[in-house]
Amino acid sequence: MTRMTFAEATRRALAEEMRRDPLVWALGEDLVQGGIFGQYKGLAEEFGPERIVSTPISESTIMGAGLGAALCGTRPVIEMRIADFTLCAMDELVSQIAKVRYMFGGQGRAALVVRMPQGMWRNSAAQHSQCLEAWLTHIPGLVVAAPGTPADAAGLLKAAIRSDDPVVLMEPKNLWTAEGEVPEEVAPIPFGVARRAAEGDAVTVVTWSAMVPVVEQGARESGIGCDVFDLRSLWPWDEAAVLASVRRTGRLLVVHEAVTVSGFGAEVVARVLEAVGPSGLRAAERLGAPRAPVPFSPPLEEAIRITPARVAEAIRRIAAT
Amino acid sequence: MSNETARRMAMLRDMARIRAFEREAVAAMRSGEAPGVVHPSIGQEAVAVGVCGNLRRADRITSTHRGHGHAIAKGADARAMMLELHGRAGGSCGGKGGSMHIADFAVGMLGANGVVGAGIPIACGAAQAIRLRKEEAIVACFFGDGAVNRGPFLEGMNWAALYRLPVLFVCEDNGFAAFTRNSAVTAGAGPAARAEACGVPASAVDGEDVLAVDAVAAELVARIRAGQGPQFLHARCYRWEGHTGTDAAAYRPAEEAAAARGRDCIRRLAALLEQAGVAPGEIAVVEAEAAAEMAAHRAAALAAPWPPPEAAFSDVQDTGAPA
């Protein structure tokens, strides 16, 4: 194990995949310069400008060219800079990438990765802080992953690159500099397998992405025995692990940075309720953002931020139900 | 028959096959036998045939919602296409795409597209992959005049020029963006000027003259194969039919469409062939064979089985597939 940042773990994972497979390449803005979070640092020197491609600010074509390149037998890693900019390339992602294989009756695969760093980071305000993972879990054809630790970010990136399905990686902007233990040899992490971050019998807590360390701390502070799951991937997601836990605890809390309304937490709660029935679920709660844009000013941003204290409070509330 | 005449007869055959295919497709849509919508390119066959005649099997094309001609000219299986239009098993896409999503990867046809201009970024990326894989191939990217008002057009022109990609951009200018005359909604000096502004050299051609399209396309394709980067072809033509097979196109004067029919690319080539000594009967045979082929395909489509219901759930994704 080596201690390293989220950015360094993914940088190494990408480099290893590019060494392993000459058809893996990356395209996006400022990649030759290392990417805005340093997650591509040094790769242009090793792999050259035809495999680490700095592009114009042309989101539609970054995404669409990635698709064309995948249809012609390469494995592109498409860098969106931040998730919010994906909105300039939604046709290419939703109506082209996600659908080509199906529409063409199995001819052609969009074996590609779309990296979209998301969430609140350094008071980036309303257009640079959104969490839109629920939109993408709604789209047939896409695999959606949302790592919350450096090791998982590296392993999921490797799995994404090797996947024949298009994979969207929602990387938490706020954790790029966070450190964690990463194995010397990072193996691909299968999609749909949650990581159990803590074990307990009182409340099942489900989270992902930037909320992972927040929830881990909040669960410790709550003083309640929490079964904490970092889902790691949202489509597919590890229903089996969550259901097995809820069948023991009867209590479910889902925490995500995204707006609560129509967030992926709604899907988790609904599926659990369908599976265990009303008698099997004594309490369920979603903890997410209010249905408001992310504000700029630090005290305003603080007002909507989910903190360990708020997580602990929610856990105690549910445990008392 | 000289080699040149034989080549021109082949062009005539391809144009006749496209027209016959689309006549059957429009009839099938109007009768309700083909579900959904078809967008016919009748009258525009010379663009598809003149360009694709200069492509090799390994070359790729991207196409549009009005793409039957591009597919047939690139060598796609017309019978499978007709089955696809009818939503049947055995169609190009197993009945899951329909007219707007016909693809035939075996001949480098990377797909029609239901979104205007969406093929442009895809073509750029296809060209980048070809370069990365060191393939000897180019990409021809077909789009209509309406696409020049979409963002991906600007992005793609700049992108292709920036990376000197092996792409032939073919703007098939039939005058109409759906129900609207495109000149009424397009400012400035037009598609070629926009391409030139991004550094893509542009040529213009009478898109109703297949020999002219063939000659210009040959020159542009040669430049691209020689590594000179992307080229742009502005081919003026006219959409004889409405936007769809059931659009009567009442928004334009009937005389205008009649005049376009008078410039029929098939009749123009037939006249030249007759001047070159080809018997009119020989030309009639080519057209009759094309009509018979497509009528047979339509009959085969009507007789073909529907896809099994479980096909609705296949080819979505491997990981996280629908339960």
- pLDDT at site B198: 98
Q: Chain B residues with CB inside 8 Å of A72's CB?
A: 60, 110, 125-126, 129-130, 133
Q: Chain B residues with CB inside 8 Å of A73's CB?
A: 129, 133
Name the closest residue on chain A to residue B314, using Cα atoms: A102
Nearest Cα neighbor of A25 from A37, A8, A40 is A40
The answer to whether B110 contacts chain A (CB < 8 Å) is yes
**Shared domain check, A108 and A247:** no
Q: Chain A residues with CB inside 8 Å of B111's CB?
A: 100, 103-104, 108
Q: Could you tell me how many helices (H) and strands (E) chain B has, helices first?
A: 11, 7
Record the tokens describing residue A96, joined without a space: 């082209």
CATH architecture of B3-301: 3-Layer(aba) Sandwich (3.40)
From A299's Cα to the closest Cα of chain B, the distance in A is 38
**Shared domain check, A299 and A173:** no
From B28's Cα to the closest Cα of chain A, the distance in A is 21
**Shared domain check, A133 and A250:** no
* Domain stops at, among A161, A182, A203: A182
B155, B198, B313: which to substitute to probe chain A, counting the most A Cβ within 10 Å?
Answer: B155
Here the CATH number for the domain that contains residue A229 is 3.40.50.920
**Contact check, Cβ <8 Å, B120/A61:** yes
**Beta strands A143-145 and A167-169: pairing type?**
parallel
**Shared domain check, A147 and A51:** yes
The ipTM of this complex is 0.96
> Could you list the active site residues of A?
128
**Shared domain check, A112 and A203:** no
**Shared domain check, A159 and A13:** yes
Position of tokens 């045939």? B49
Name the closest residue on chain B to residue A52, using Cα atoms: B132
How many independent structural domains does chain A possess? Answer: 2
Name the closest residue on chain B to residue A192, using Cα atoms: B320
**Contact check, Cβ <8 Å, B115/A96:** yes
CA distance A97 to B227: 29
Q: Which CA distances in Å does A130 have to A81, A206, A260, B94?
A: 13, 20, 12, 39
Residue pairs spanning A and B at CB distance below 8 A: 160
Here the CATH number for the domain that contains residue A25 is 3.40.50.970
In DSSP terms, A227 is beta-bridged to A204
**Contact check, Cβ <8 Å, B132/A74:** yes
The dihedral sign for the CA sequence A55, A101, B23, B275: positive
The phi, psi pair for B262, rounded to 5°, reads -70, -15
CA distance A41 to B93: 42
- Residue B292: exposed, middle, or buried by beta-carbon count in 10 A (0-12, 13-18, 19+)? exposed
Q: Chain B residues with CB inside 8 Å of A143's CB?
A: 317, 319-320
Position of tokens 């005290």? A299
**Contact check, Cβ <8 Å, A103/B126:** no
Helix (H) or strand (E) holding A13: helix A6-20
Q: How many CB atoms lie within 10 A of CB A292?
A: 11
CB A231 within 8 A of CB A237: yes
3-state secondary structure of B98: coil
Nearest Cα neighbor of A54 from A38, A76, A32 is A32
A58, A72, A139: which to substitute to probe chain B, counting the most B Cβ within 10 Å?
Answer: A72
The answer to whether B97 contacts chain A (CB < 8 Å) is yes
Given a cut of 50, the residues of chain A with pLDDT beneath it are none
* A216-219: long-range contacts, CB 8 A cutoff, minimum separation 24: A217/A308, A217/A311, A218/A255, A218/A307, A218/A308, A218/A309, A218/A310, A218/A311, A218/A312, A218/A314, A218/A315, A219/A311, A219/A312, A219/A315
Please state whether the peptide bond connecting residue A290 to the residue before it is cis, i.e. omega within 30 degrees of 0. Answer: no
**Shared domain check, A158 and A88:** yes
The answer to whether B147 contacts chain A (CB < 8 Å) is no
Strands of the sheet with B139-144, listed across from one edge:
B60-62, B139-144, B167-173, B231-236, B202-206
Q: How many CB atoms lie within 10 A of CB B164?
A: 15
**Shared domain check, A22 and A139:** yes
B88, B100, B122, B313: which to substitute to probe chain A, counting the most A Cβ within 10 Å?
Answer: B122
- Residues A73-108 pLDDT 10s: 999 999 999 999 999 999 999 999 999 999 999 999
From B106's Cα to the closest Cα of chain A, the distance in A is 9
* Domain stops at, among A182, A216, A237: A182
**Shared domain check, A216 and A111:** no
Record the tokens describing residue A12, joined without a space: 């190494």
**Shared domain check, A121 and A269:** no
CB B179 within 8 A of CB B251: yes
> What angle is formed at CA B266 by the lines to CA B262 and CA B270, rounded to 5 degrees?
105
CA distance B173 to B182: 9
Residue A278 resides in a domain = yes
Q: Chain B residues with CB inside 8 Å of A61's CB?
A: 120-121, 124, 152, 155-156, 159
Residue A189 resides in a domain = no
CB B21 within 8 A of CB B82: yes
Residue A187 resides in a domain = no
From A161's Cα to the closest Cα of chain B, the distance in A is 13
**Shared domain check, A107 and A243:** no
Residue A220 resides in a domain = yes
- pLDDT at site B323: 82
CA distance B112 to B97: 10
Q: Chain B residues with CB inside 8 Å of A235's CB?
A: 320
**Shared domain check, A146 and A41:** yes
Helix (H) or strand (E) holding A197: strand A195-198
- Residues A224-280 pLDDT 10s: 999 999 999 999 999 999 999 999 999 999 999 999 999 999 999 999 999 999 999
The phi, psi pair for A311, rounded to 5°, reads -65, -45
- How is residue A96 annotated by DSSP? I
Name the closest residue on chain A to residue B96, using Cα atoms: A103
Strands of the sheet with A167-169, listed across from one edge:
A52-54, A24-28, A75-79, A113-115, A167-169, A143-145, A233-235
CA distance B234 to B255: 24
CA distance A148 to A171: 8
Name the closest residue on chain B to residue A62, using Cα atoms: B121
CB B50 within 8 A of CB B221: no
- pLDDT at site B1: 82
Digit-by-digit pLDDT tens for chain B (323 residues) are 899 999 999 999 999 999 999 999 999 999 999 999 999 999 999 999 999 999 999 999 999 999 999 999 999 999 999 999 999 999 999 999 999 999 999 999 999 999 999 999 999 999 999 999 999 999 999 999 999 999 999 999 999 999 999 999 999 999 999 999 999 999 999 999 999 999 999 999 999 999 999 999 999 999 999 999 999 999 999 999 999 999 999 999 999 999 999 999 999 999 999 999 999 999 999 999 999 999 999 999 999 999 999 999 999 999 999 98
Residue A188 resides in a domain = no
**pTM score, whole prediction:** 0.97
Full domain range(s) for residue A101: 2-182
CA distance A290 to A293: 8
Nearest Cα neighbor of B70 from A201, A64, B147, B59 is B59
Name the closest residue on chain A to residue B108, using Cα atoms: A72
CB B126 within 8 A of CB A69: yes
**Contact check, Cβ <8 Å, A56/B105:** no
Which amino acid would we find at residue B163? Y
Q: Chain B residues with CB inside 8 Å of A87's CB?
A: none
Picking from B60, B97, B127, the nearest residue to A105 by CB comes out as: B97
CA distance A98 to A318: 38
The answer to whether B164 contacts chain A (CB < 8 Å) is no
From A104's Cα to the closest Cα of chain B, the distance in A is 5
Helix (H) or strand (E) holding A240: helix A239-249
